[in-house]
Amino acid sequence: MNNLNIKHPCIMVCVTPQQSCARLIEAGARIAKEEKLPLEVISVFKQSSGLNANEDGALENLFECAKKYDASMNIFFNDSPALVVAVATKKHNAATLVTGFPAEGSSGFIARIHEIVPDLPITMVDNESNEYKIIPVDKEEIEGVKKTALSSVH
């Protein structure tokens, strides 16, 4: 039985209004091409940002970058960005979430997303476009390793 409410998987990229976030869209596009999945871009601003969200035109440039890779771009205004992104990944059936690499003293945004959707692979891209992955842990696999480890102790 085919449920029309289930979306096909996608690669989702989370950006902020900075020109440098184009590297995130480019990394997401590469992953989407490898996985043969569509690309979606999301950005979440504080509710108070309102129309100032695109102050320096960065958001417009990111929209153009997304368009170059046939990606849709969704913008939300909410004071709980990690929750909004987590819900969007579920709603859009994201196979992977691509984000920037957290700076020292960051807000814990990625950790919160990982807490909410622990089964979602996350690829973090640093300023040099190096990729770091948070890969979900298979609980059954861990239990198997534990049993093997315990039985091999003499």
40 is a domain residue: yes
Domain range enclosing 93: 10-151
Residue 4 lies in a domain: no
Give the chain's domain count.
1
1 occurs within a structural domain:
no
Question: Does the residue 23 lie in any domain?
Answer: yes
Looking at the domain assignment, is residue 18 inside a domain? yes
Confidence bin at 2 (pLDDT 50/70/90)? very low
CATH number at residue 87: 3.40.50.620
Entry pTM: 0.83
**Residue 47 or residue 124, greater confidence:** 124
Sheet containing 94-100: give its strands across: 72-77, 39-45, 10-14, 94-100, 122-125, 131-134
Torsion of CA 86, 72, 32, 131, to 10 degrees: -60
Rounded Cα distance, 32 and 95, in Å: 9
Highest mean pLDDT among 42-46, 90-94, 143-147: 90-94
- Answer whether residue 3 is part of any domain: no
38 vs 50 pLDDT, higher one: 38
